[in-house]
């Protein structure tokens, strides 16, 4: 906080106008490439937070990240219990059938207590904030999917070139 | 911290333009703050949200995030963003003279 208190009157400009600092971020394009619970949530939180701050935001789903917008799969996103040292679970145990389901149940239960929405609810909410949802053309082709496989909030299936056009002038976040 | 004059009264704002002392706020100041945020006219729907933010703050000591606002104010998220395109919770808090809501979701 500055030592001196400056005085000014509000005129046609922003109330924020006098704040001195780096320029704010106006637009973010967030890429979701992972299909695990811990791979999807951070991107959703960042997209939702960007809109809450008044930034323009777009979510671009690629590779296994497509599961997050896949009608039949987005309600069954699991925590990765293998190759995830952060879980502090023996690797061999992580591979036992059912362990991923149990861990997912445990985590989503904890999230529910904190009022963190489920992935389907969260994505619907993010679409309502005006954030754009896009699927990656190359991945859609690779997995043999079509527009109909995705939730209706998905605006379009776009190419990488179209993604860059859309992301121009903003920040790109890869998750 | 800086001092600005709103509705003829000197008030203190923090560096982000939120009221440093929410008790200094009066309803007469709201349209002036809104105008600086690109909202030229506060409709009944705007007021509903602004008053709700303020009452929540007075009740709990903090303004709600957009998700909570959408859930308990009865105004759907889509509509909140139509009313306050540059962030409903953030803008409504600014206009309601309360601190910026904190929270990740």
Question: B17-33 burial, b for 16+ CB within 10 Å, e for fewer?
Answer: bbbeebeebeeebbbbb
Of the listed B1, B40, B61, B104, which one is catalytic? B104
Of residues A12 and B61, more confidently modeled: B61
Quick one: average pLDDT of A127-139?
97
Do the interacting molecules here have an ipTM over 0.90? Answer: yes
Cα of A67 vs its chain's centroid, Å: 13
* Residue-averaged pLDDT of chain A: 90
Q: State the nearest Cα–Cα gap between A55 and chain B, in angstroms.
A: 7
What are the two backbone dihedrals, phi and then psi, of residue A126, each rounded to the nearest 5 degrees?
-65, -40
Question: What is the percentage of chain A residues whose pLDDT exceeds 90?
Answer: 83
> Which one of A54, A114, A132 would you mutate to disrupt binding with B, by most B Cβ within 10 Å of its Cβ?
A54
Are A15 and B87 a contacting pair at CB < 8 A?
A: no
What are the tokens at A42? Answer: 């951070």
What is residue A117's predicted lDDT score, i.e. its pLDDT? 96
Candidate from A7, A53, A117 with C-beta closest to B3: A7
Write down the pTM of the prediction.
0.88
Domains of chain B: 2-95 (1.10.10.370)
Cβ proximity of A51 and A128 under 8 Å: no
Is residue B93 part of the annotated active site? The answer reads no
Q: What is the pLDDT of residue A20?
A: 57
B17 touches chain A (CB under 8 A): yes
Chain A and chain B share a number of CB contacts under 8 A equal to 84
pLDDT digits (tens, 9 = 90+) for B80-105: 999 999 999 999 999 999 999 999 98
Residues of A in contact with B87 (CB under 8 A): 51-54
Instruction: State how far residue B6 is from chain A, nearest Cα, in angstroms.
Output: 7
pLDDT, position A2: 45
Q: What is the least distance, in Å, from the CA of B33 to any CA of chain A? A: 7
- pLDDT for A1 equals 43
| B85 in contact with chain A, both atoms CB, cutoff 8 A | yes
Q: Which of A9-18, A98-107, A120-129, B40-49 is the least confident region?
A: A9-18
Q: Is the pLDDT of residue B25 over 50?
A: yes
Whether residue A3 is predicted with pLDDT greater than 70 in this model: the reply is no
Does residue B16 contact residue B33 with C-beta atoms inside 8 Å?
A: no
Reported as a single tens digit per residue, the pLDDT across A4-22 is 445 544 444 444 544 556 7
């Amino acid at each position: 906080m500055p030592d001196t208190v400056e005085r000014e009157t509000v005129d046609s400009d922003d109330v924020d106008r006098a704040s001195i600092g780096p320029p704010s971020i106006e637009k973010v394009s967030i890429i979701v490439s992972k299909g695990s619970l811990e791979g999807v949530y951070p991107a959703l939180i960042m997209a939702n937070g960007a809109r809450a701050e008044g930034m323009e935001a777009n979510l671009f789903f690629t590779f296994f990240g497509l599961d997050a917008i896949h009608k039949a799969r987005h309600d069954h996103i699991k925590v990765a219990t293998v190759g995830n040292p952060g879980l502090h679970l023996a690797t061999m145990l992580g591979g036992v059938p059912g362990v991923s389901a149990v861990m997912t149940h445990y985590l989503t239960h904890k999230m529910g207590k904190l009022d963190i929405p489920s992935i389907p609810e969260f994505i619907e909410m993010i679409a309502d904030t005006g954030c754009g949802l896009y699927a990656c053309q190359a991945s859609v082709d690779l997995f043999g999917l079509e527009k109909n496989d995705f939730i209706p909030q998905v605006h379009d299936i776009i190419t990488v070139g179209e993604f860059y056009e859309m992301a121009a002038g903003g920040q790109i976040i890869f998750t | 911290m800086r001092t600005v004059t709103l509705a003829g009264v000197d008030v203190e704002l923090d560096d982000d333009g939120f009221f440093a002392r929410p008790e200094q706020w009066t309803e007469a100041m709201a349209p002036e703050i809104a105008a600086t945020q690109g909202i030229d006219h506060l409709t009944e729907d705007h007021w509903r949200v602004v008053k709700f933010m303020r009452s929540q703050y007075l009740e709990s000591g903090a303004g709600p995030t957009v998700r909570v606002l959408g859930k308990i104010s009865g105004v759907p998220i889509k509509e909140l963003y139509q009313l306050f395109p540059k962030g409903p919770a953030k803008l409504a808090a600014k206009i309601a003279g309360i601190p910026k809501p904190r929270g990740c979701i």
